[in-house]
Structure 1
Amino acid sequence: MELSSAAIGSKITFGSYFTENAEDKAPLSWIVLDRDDSAVLLITELCIDSGVYNPGCDDITWAESSCRKWLNGDFFSEAFSAAEQELILETAVTTPDNALYHTKGGADTRDRVFALSLEEVKRYLPDNESRKAVPTPYTLSKNLWTHKDKTCYWWLRSPGIMQYNAAAIYYSGLISDIGCFAGDEKVAYRPAVRVKI
């Protein structure tokens, strides 16, 4: 499906990443979350990798997190060709404070790849079913927290109950404002990008 004609809720392929194993890449499937006349907002259909939001027990926000660095560094380089990278827009990203626990969202950033915030996930994926996600076989091999139906936890960029936690989506699709410990390696990554059309 062409980006220019992709409707909200439809699926498209864009880029490629490790799917079955750490050696062979396959096209990445994305869900169209939003669109305007110039760009589409996409999120991966599956959880494409896993790892910490940030290592250790230090207070952290999205701006300084290793998750952000990995998404905009290794993942961006690995998943997209030079031509595809040219299509991915640099997005002004604001991360609000956690409204329940008043932990700090941190500085605004400009990112090519990002995780959704609490506010965005409520806007674009409004119910538990739409938020459920399963990992690729490659991601599943990394010993994730998973349910019997293979759904898994995935990171949001918002802070959790403490400054060393980050908000997450549980395998049931439930939004966790409390979140997970930022150093938890068993939570998956589900990137979002804005792509020119």
Structure 2
Amino acid sequence: MKRLLSVCIILLLCFSSQALAAAIVIPEVGDCITFGSYEQDNQIDNGKEPLEWIVLDVQNDQAMLLSKYCIDTVIFYPERVAMYWGISDLRTWMNGEFLQETFTKDEQACILTTTIENENPHGMKGAGADTLDQIYLLSKEEVLHFFPEMADRVAYPTEYAKSKDCTVDPVTGSCRWWTRTTGARKMDICGMRLDGRISSYGMQDVDWPTNTMRPVMWVQCGLI
């Protein structure tokens, strides 16, 4: 009787594991999913809208997500001084207020803490130590890796981002967006131009007020 009970328990556990595995939906690279919510249509009275994310990478049951649109107009740091990602106001805000207001507690539990490598490809000043972040920005190298074609780096702002005076191309409607990579000058951060070229000198001062952001994060697929 005990042997039969043990076999039944083992079978039940096997079936439960199989059912759980079947229930975990693993997205594919290039998929677009919704997760979290943020003001986007600039109609404050109707509440926040679901955020759309592009799947950049999938590792086992974890996925790397990049916001489809440039969702807010932000500065990297309020003063034009030597700056890097690890001590920036933007990093503090993204992993604090933005994280808390954009995602529910259950959604926050799905967002993984990631070791972020911070390098200076220009060799002119340090880029700071690696950081541990839940929300971050792509590096210059990651942009080139995931979007090798210049046209694919072109991105568009939400109505909310436009209401905060981001620079918008009058013809295409595209906008500039930050990376986290230190630029060629000590007060410079690399960013995407309106046409998808990467600017790393003279155009992306850390206190530049009209650039936008595209958040990045890794999530646990079985929990979202």
TM-score interval for Structure 1 and Structure 2 normalised by the shorter chain: over 0.9
The residue number in structure 2 matching 1:184 is 208
Report if aligned partners of 1:52, 1:185 keep a CA contact under 8 Å in 2. Answer: yes
- 1:45-100 Cα offsets, whole Å, 9 max, x none, are 00010111111122111000011011111110111010000000000001111x23
Report if aligned partners of 2:30, 2:55 keep a CA contact under 8 Å in 1. Answer: yes
- 1:95-150 Cα offsets, whole Å, 9 max, x none, are 111x2353322111000000000111111111112111100000011111111211
Stretches of structure 2 that go unaligned for 5 or more consecutive residues are 1-22
Structure 1 vs Structure 2 CA RMSD: 1.5
Equivalenced residue count is 195
- Greater percentage in strand: 1
The residue number in structure 2 matching 1:53 is 76
- Greater percentage in helix: 2
Stretches of structure 1 that go unaligned for 5 or more consecutive residues are none
Separation of aligned partners in 1, 2:147 and 2:184: 22
Separation of aligned partners in 1, 2:174 and 2:97: 25
The residue number in structure 2 matching 1:33 is 56
Quick one: structure 1 residues 40 and 3, their matched pair in 2 at CA, closer, same or farther if it must change by over 3 Å?
Answer: farther
Separation of aligned partners in 1, 2:39 and 2:182: 28
The one-letter code matched in structure 2 to 1:114 is Y
Rg: which structure is higher?
2
The residue number in structure 1 matching 2:91 is 68
The residue number in structure 2 matching 1:17 is 38
The one-letter code matched in structure 1 to 2:26 is S
Pairing partner for 1:119 from 141, 159, 163: 141
Q: Does residue 150 of structure 2 align to residue 128 of structure 1?
A: yes
Report if aligned partners of 1:10, 1:31 keep a CA contact under 8 Å in 2. Answer: yes
Report if aligned partners of 1:118, 1:177 keep a CA contact under 8 Å in 2. Answer: no
SS of 2:141's partner is: helix
Q: TM-score, normalised by structure 2?
A: 0.83
Q: TM-score, normalised by structure 1?
A: 0.94
Report if aligned partners of 2:122, 2:183 keep a CA contact under 8 Å in 1. Answer: no
Q: What is the deviation of 1:9?
A: 0.9
Q: What is the deviation of 1:3?
A: 7.7
Identity of aligned residues (%): 33
Separation of aligned partners in 1, 2:110 and 2:147: 24
The residue number in structure 2 matching 1:8 is 29
* Moved >3 Å (runs of 4+): none
The residue number in structure 1 matching 2:188 is 165
The residue number in structure 1 matching 2:65 is 42
Report if aligned partners of 1:32, 1:41 keep a CA contact under 8 Å in 2. Answer: yes
The one-letter code matched in structure 2 to 1:20 is D
Pairing partner for 2:163 from 141, 155, 163: 141
